[in-house]
Amino acid sequence: MNKLNFKGSVMLNPTPVVLVTSISKEGKTNVFTVGWVSTVCTKEPIIAMGVRPERLSYEYIKESGECVINLPTVNMVKVVDYCGVVSGKKVDKIKHFNLQLSEGVSVSTPSLQSSPIALECKVKSITPLGTHDLFLLEVLNVKVDESLLDSNNKICFNKAKLICYNHGEYYGLNSKPLGSFGYSVKKRSKSKSTLQ
């Protein structure tokens, strides 16, 4: 395999794409799209998110100390794109799409009803990096649409029809897994013929 060299850049793809809701001190809710978001710790549950300081949501999240990460579905791709390119300083995106909001449980910030999974977060820290600042967010509560639970109450994320962002394009995630965590080292059970 012949590889070409490019100067250092953020070519980590695909990435999750999420809709983040935030609330101002006056109680105004905004929503914007973030493609630079990742789990960085499980205990405490911490998510890292890169946000440009000039974004309206940056101001809201910084002053309230909280936000909600809403996972969008394939049916929400137009909302995802619009909320990533249109500023909340010019358009009320909640009203534009008639997005229904659901009251927060552990935070004051509402989540999007159309999103099957919403992670309610509080800000742990903000670190300036350059074009973006790094927000470390502790997940306080997760809202999950009950239709995603199986008979054992396991969350079936594959049923949610989530999307990802890949170098300027949105893709729906295939619901068929290639494998499950640990399958490469899992011991095979012995067949009856080898036991006899």
Domain 15-195: homologous superfamily in CATH: Electron Transport, Fmn-binding Protein; Chain A (2.30.110.10)
pLDDT given for residue 136 in this prediction: 98
Given a contact cutoff of 8 angstroms between Cβ atoms, the answer to whether 50 and 58 are in contact is no
pLDDT given for residue 191 in this prediction: 55
| Confidence band of 175 (pLDDT split at 50, 70, 90) | confident
pLDDT given for residue 26 in this prediction: 94
Task: Tell me which of 196 and 95 has the higher pLDDT.
Answer: 95
How would you class 115 by CB atoms within 10 Å of its CB: exposed for 0-12, middle for 13-18, buried for 19 or more?
buried
pLDDT given for residue 89 in this prediction: 95
Tens-digit pLDDT profile for residues 16-42? 999 999 999 999 999 999 999 999 999
pLDDT given for residue 188 in this prediction: 74
Residue 37: CB atoms within 10 A of its CB come to 20
Output the CA–CA distances (angstroms, integers) from residue 37 to 62, 69, 109, 133, 153, in the order listed: 17, 9, 19, 12, 26
* Rounded Cα gap, residues 152 and 67, in angstroms: 30
| Confidence band of 151 (pLDDT split at 50, 70, 90) | very high
Q: Average the pLDDT over 117-129 and give the result.
A: 98
